Every structure is written in C-alpha cells, then in structure tokens.
Homo-oligomer: A and B are copies of this chain.
Amino acid sequence: MTTLYGYFRSSAAYRVRIALNLKGLAYDQAPVNLVKGEQRGEEYLARNPQGLVPALVTDDGARLTQSLAICEYLDERYPEPALLPADAAGRARVRALAQAVACEIHPLNNLRVLKYLTGELGVDEATKMTWYRHWVSEGFAALETQLSREAGSGDFCHGDAPGLADLCLVPQVFNAERFACDLTAYPRIRRIVANCRALDAFARAAPEAQPDAG
C-alpha cells in the first residue's frame, strides 16, 4: 500500500493528495504533526532527512520526497489522467505556473519561516501577516496576469482539465484564505479554483477532510 506522510494543513502534502486522488490511487495516511515538531523527530528524519512533509512510500518501496517531484513521479508511473500536457511548450507552461506557486509564494509563507519571523526576528503578529500577504499578493498578481493573458488557460490553469498547476494553486488559495488575504483582484484564479473545488479529487484532498484535521 502507498503511504503518504503529511499534515492536513501542509500545502505541499495537499498537492500530493490531489494528485493521488486524480490518479485514482488508494493510499494510507501517516500524519506528521508540524505544530508539535514531529517532522524534526528522529523517526521522521530517518525517513526524510529534509524534515519536511510530504514524503511518499509507494507500494513497490520507493521513498519519495518533495511534492512536485512526487507528482511528476505519479504522472510518469500512472499516465492517465495526465497532470501535464503532451507538448513540450505546454508542459513548460504548466510547470512554470506550478513553480510560480511552489518556488515563489509557498516557500516564503510556510510554518518554519513564519516561526523564524516571530521567533528569531521578533516581529509582531501584524507584521507577520503583512509579510504573508505581501508574497501572496506579489505572486497572485503575476499569476492572474498570466492566466488572463495567455491562450493556454481554460476552465483550469491549462485547458479544460486539472493538472500540476491547479494542484499547486488550490492549496495556496486555501492558505491565503486562512490568512484572510483579499482575493477580489484575482477573478481568474478564483474561477479556476472554484472549478477545481467542484471536483471530487480536490474535495477529498481538502485539509478539513483529512483524518488529522484538528
């Protein structure tokens, strides 16, 4: 059986849950409580030295880390439905949209960074929220422009089927909503996310639907 080591609110774990669901793959969940610091425990570090979730152990024993690498692995092993388009330019576009979330927004706003801000840097809660919203607003403004302007966009980030970019975007929007970011300036993003959320694969991957949701 495939086992996902994750955390209900982790954006990166949420991406992999969506990918597994889109592929129709069954999996067990092994929750790693990030707030309690379980990702820094000896047991988890032996599994993933990065001390990050998610990690995926597949039914044939492969031990995978980094959410986008995991999603691409799933797409290679279980090609249908595809998370990436067939043409190289389309694949580059979808990967770039995914990375615009995974490399430009999410790394700045995850739990360990927010903890460093309020801990080591001693910033107050309001300044932390401004930081969070700043990177969301920078990233979403650019994404909104790309999604509105580029011919590749459709009901989803690329065409009319969900893929790698959508499974990054939806968890980022979930997090932005949790931090009360104003998303009115991003109608195209909101429309795509609404289309995703209407799908069972996304709904079942939502944080509140997970066994460790607190």
Chain A contacts to B: CB under 8 angstroms: 49-52, 62, 64-66, 68-70, 72-73, 76-77, 88-89, 91-93, 95-96, 98-100, 102-104, 106-108, 113, 116, 120-121, 123, 127, 130-131, 134, 142, 145-146, 149
- Interface residue SS majority, chain A: helix
State A64–B149 Cα separation when bound (angstroms): 15
Q: Which partner residue on chain B sits nearest A52 by CB separation?
A: B104
Does the CB pair B88–A73 fall under 8 Å? yes
* Integer count of this chain's copies in the complex: 2
Does the CB pair B69–A99 fall under 8 Å? yes
Q: A64-B89, A103-B106, A121-B121 are in contact. List 9 more A-B contacts (CB 8 A).
A: A50-B100, A51-B142, A62-B92, A73-B91, A73-B92, A107-B107, A116-B131, A120-B131, A121-B127
Choose one: B70, B73, B77, B96; the contact of A66 (CB below 8 Å): B96
Top 8 A-B pairs, shortest CB-CB distance: A69-B95, A107-B107, A66-B96, A49-B145, A73-B92, A69-B96, A66-B99, A50-B142
